[in-house]
Chains A and B, each alone.
Chain A
Amino acid sequence: MLLPNADQGILDRRAEIVSALKSMLPAGCVIDDDKSMSAFDTDGLSAYRNQPLVVVLPETTQQVADVMRWCRDNAVKIVPRGAGTSLSGGAIPLSDGVLLGLGKFNKITEIDYENRAVTAQPGVTNLGITQAVQDEGFYYAPDPSSQIACSIGGNIAENSGGVHCLKYGLTTNNVLGIEMVTMDGEILRLGGKHLDADGFDILGVMTGSEGLLGVVTEVTVRILRKPASQRALLVGFDSAQEGGQAVSDVIAAGIIPAGMEMMDGPAINAAEDFVGAGYPREAAALLIVELDGPETEVDFLINAVSEIVKKAGATSIRASTSEAERNQFWAGRKSAFPAVGRISPDYLCMDGTIPRKALPEMLTRMASMSQKYGLRVANVFHAGDGNLHPLILFDANQPGELERAEEFGADILRNCVALGGVLTGEHGVGVEKRDLMGEMFTEDDLKQQQRLKCAFDPQHLLNPGKVFPVLHRCAELGRLHVHHGKLPHPDIPRF
């Protein structure tokens, strides 16, 4: 996984760059000693490390703007960083780039219950938003498993999801507005506490843009009233096929649960060994279906879903009767990653999405790939929306295993695309899946995406080397080449 070659000219100018940044920021906002910088040398994709040129931790939007404009004028690259939990390497630094951390943007600026909106600085954690409003009975719905650590700005950049986005949507469906700074150092406001864009929906395209289009300096999100009650079903199946079918049947019956999660045999047993959640060890697939809303509705739907999964061949069904029991059902699922971490020195967490109906087929293919690569795999899924998280187990100390695990992972993602799905459901492309983009997109698709990038950052200074396998120069992408007087596509017949 290669980052773009560092520009020697920039490396040579390091002292000058550092002192320019120091002159524009308050004391303590520029970190340039190797030891302190090493805290920023990777993100959640920790198999890869890279020391940044320098780290800046600005405190105000104006400072972000000043840094960005200066970097633009001096052709210095910038990598934005929230909490550094990206699993696709989006926040991995560049040796010839400034790492711009939003860690000091950690305040909630406004809570407006009447309009159900919270405005926060981007470094506030995802859970921090819920914590700020939960005493009044509200919460912020998107709930990535990393929510105690990841920042709301990072959530915007990655369009993060969580187990409840089946019913409540991803980040993009829950953001009302942002303030952002462009690479030109311009401060823009998009949206607010009102709905919908009044021009192109730039807020929509900023969400999930992986720090390539601008730096988010403030966020306004929708908060919701906590549902009156929540209950979960824990359902075991003898085969993944039956489990997958049950998921489709629930949706086909017109029920959209708050969450519908599945684990396969290896994941069930790893979780059971770790937390003893009471999972049926003999099951080949375990489904957790959570329903929320008014009590009568939840009870009604618990019964309805129970009937459906029974018909689909469930071998065990338990419905939670207390909060403690519901939390116990979730305990295994929530600790699936650390549980797998216990049975293997290292693991790689993949993140593809497939159409729900392709779940059984995908599992069959995964089993044969596991044999082919000689590596074990444990699966947890956001089954309701077809989002897979295969955990590939390996040992980085064994020569060649990391490469084999990565090849296995790439193979899984290629299969996701082949089955009508996509390379990433919620973790982003970053550097991890960058070189697979051609599996899903044509050259023209990718060029059009890069033209959009050029509208924001024509010099490719903001987080280059992420998302796109090949960086085309904007001048070359943007212009229409008129060749011998002919516009593009001379081969297309005219009317």
Chain B
Amino acid sequence: MIYTPQNTDEIQSILAQAMDSQRPLYACGTRTKSGMHCQVSAEDSLSMEHYSGIIDYEPEELVLVVRAGTRLDEIDQLLAKHNQMLAFEPANLSKMFASEHGGTIGGIIATNLSGSRRISAGAARDYLLGFDAISGRCDQFKSGSRVMKNVTGYDLSKLMCGSYGRLAILSDITLKVLPKPQTVQTVCLTTDTLAEAQASVSQAFTSSVEPSGGAILPVADRFTSYIRLEGVAVSVADRLTALKNILDGQGEVSVLEADESTLFWQQITNAEQLASSSGQIWKLSIVPSALPQIIEIISSAHTCSYIADWAGGLVWLNCEISDTAASSAIIRNAISAHGGGHAHLVRGEAGEHIAKFQPQPEQLAMLQSRIKTAFDPLHILNPDIMGHEVPDSTARADAGEKE
């Protein structure tokens, strides 16, 4: 059964019934990113696709309030009309998952999916000002607000971002939006080694040219670094000159003008360079300077193609790793040996030895599980979506006659 509620009363009814009958729900949007997570142990779905639309948009307050099922392209169009944007540059993985569009804003928040500007402007989690939701206890609750600065109570917005719908059904989402930069240019530098490429990008980020993106692409046997500059035209022009001076002597330099730049960063954000190939796609979040070592370890064991973003801190990896203890451990071991981070098998099946999501240390896993229970004691929301969970058997208490 797929439920498609149109208002919060309906959402509550569906949840109440799911609780009564102990039938868990797959809470989702338009399922464009269902390949990103594990199989949910639920026969029924609660899709938010019909709970959509703009509730309020005040450009001069930099605030947008939308229903969770609102499609990303609709939001982009509206914001563009006012020269504004979602500054975290949400990724559109439709090419990777062969879907027709980039999904809903609820899906973006639930996966905390940010693009190239993550490194300079922050993630989806940094732009969620507040929300209304219905918890796995069927209670309506809210957190946050519509203002930019707020420390009233716990910042539950942060928990919702990246929660994969395990805590509550987000209904209304309040986002901070920002003005679009007036213009953009990208400096490209070709070097011989990955270490040189990463060092150059890192140099740009530690200089005062204020890059808003730093990607690295292997091309044949060499590497091209892309460094994005955005802002008012006079400033971009000046910073471009300054950046070229910084990179002088490090390799061949060229420039992508505005239109080319926009297209290029879209492709990077959406990992389109790898999307059309078959096979697994991994997403690694690592310490930027560890990029060369981590890639070397992985490449020595597997044949992979990859692209890097976030100044080297994000790696999209395309390869075929077989489900054996020896081969699957290589990626995560390489990361933990080089400064830490995590790896997510974004596209591809989990296996006996391959967890889609980074396994957590035991004490942290237990805390995560207690947090889950605090919102969804019966585990009716997206059970097992990030891997097998053990429900807390103490959550349900038959108060019976005592009340």
Contact = CB atoms under 8 A, between A and B. Distances in A.
A357 B63 CA distance: 12
B339 A172 contact: no
B137 interface: yes
Contacts of A487: 16, 19-20, 138
Interface in B282-340: 285-289, 310, 313-314, 339-340
Nearest to A117: B287
Nearest to A456: B367
A445 B151 contact: no
Nearest to B340: A192
Given A204-B125, A355-B146, A482-B398, A227 B208 contact: yes
Contacts of A138: 206
Interface in A462-486: 467, 478-484, 486
A355 B135 CA distance: 28
Contact of A186 (B118, B237, B363, B396): B363
A190 B371 CA distance: 15
A493 interface: yes
A1 interface: no
A252 to B, nearest CB: 4
Q: Choose among A190, A249, A448 the residue with the greatest number of B CB atoms under 10 Å from its CB.
A: A448
B145 A297 contact: no
A324 interface: no
Contact of B357 (A198, A356, A456): A198
B57 interface: no
A172 B127 CA distance: 11
Contacts of A420: 145-147
Given A198-B342, A489-B138, A188 B363 contact: yes
Contacts of A161: 149
A467 B361 CA distance: 30
A452 B374 contact: yes
Given A449-B153, A492-B138, A195 B119 contact: yes
Interface in B1-39: 3, 9-10, 12-14, 16-17, 19-20
A494 B20 contact: yes
Interface centre among B145, B202, B235, B367 (most CB of A within 10 A): B367
Contact of A254 (B17, B180, B206, B342): B180
A191 B231 CA distance: 30
B396 A492 contact: no
B155 A208 contact: yes
A2 interface: no
A23 interface: no
Given A425-B149, A449-B154, A489 B374 contact: no
Contacts of A484: 400
Interface stretch (B67-75, B89-97, B159-167): B159-167
B13 A478 contact: no
Nearest to B84: A254
Given A297-B235, A300-B232, A489-B16, A115 B162 contact: no
Contact of A116 (B206, B341, B342, B370): B206
B59 interface: yes
A77 interface: no
A445 B159 contact: no
A442 B133 CA distance: 13
Interface string A204-232: 11011100010000000000011110000
Contacts of B370: 454-456
Q: Which one of B3, B14, B232 has the highest number of Cβ atoms from chain A below 10 Å of its Cβ?
A: B232
Interface stretch (A275-283, A364-372, A382-390): A382-390
A454 B370 CA distance: 8
B373 interface: yes
Interface in B96-150: 112, 114, 118-119, 122-123, 125-126, 135, 137-143, 145-150
Measured as residues with beta carbon below 8 angstroms from the partner, the interface class of chain B is: 35 or more
A386 B17 CA distance: 42
B159 A455 contact: no
B207 A194 contact: no
A236 interface: no
Interface string B166-200: 01000000000011101000000000000000000
A204 B155 contact: yes
B168 to A, nearest CB: 8
A459 to B, nearest CB: 14
B151 A204 contact: no
Given A300-B232, A478-B374, A488-B137, A194 B126 contact: no
Contacts of A448: 135, 139, 141, 143, 156, 374-375
B364 interface: yes
A68 B309 CA distance: 41
A113 B386 CA distance: 34
A482 B210 contact: no
B62 A451 contact: no
Contact of B288 (A115, A355, A488): A115
A193 B137 CA distance: 36
B148 A455 contact: no
Interface stretch (A122-130, A342-350, A426-434): A426-434
3 shortest A-B CB distances, which residue pairs?
A204-B158, A297-B235, A254-B179
11 contacts: A113-B206, A116-B205, A172-B126, A173-B122, A199-B364, A208-B151, A208-B155, A252-B60, A424-B150, A429-B152, A446-B153
Interface of B: 3, 9-10, 12-14, 16-17, 19-20, 58-63, 83-84, 112, 114, 118-119, 122-123, 125-126, 135, 137-143, 145-159, 161-163, 167, 178-180, 182, 202, 205-210, 231-232, 234-235, 237-239, 242, 285-289, 310, 313-314, 339-342, 344, 357-358, 360-361, 363-365, 367-368, 370-375, 377-378, 386, 394-400, 403
Given A200-B162, A423-B152, A440-B145, 20 more contacts: A115-B287, A190-B364, A193-B287, A196-B285, A205-B155, A294-B209, A382-B149, A421-B145, A426-B149, A445-B143, A446-B153, A448-B143, A452-B159, A453-B154, A479-B394, A479-B395, A488-B137, A488-B139, A492-B13, A493-B13
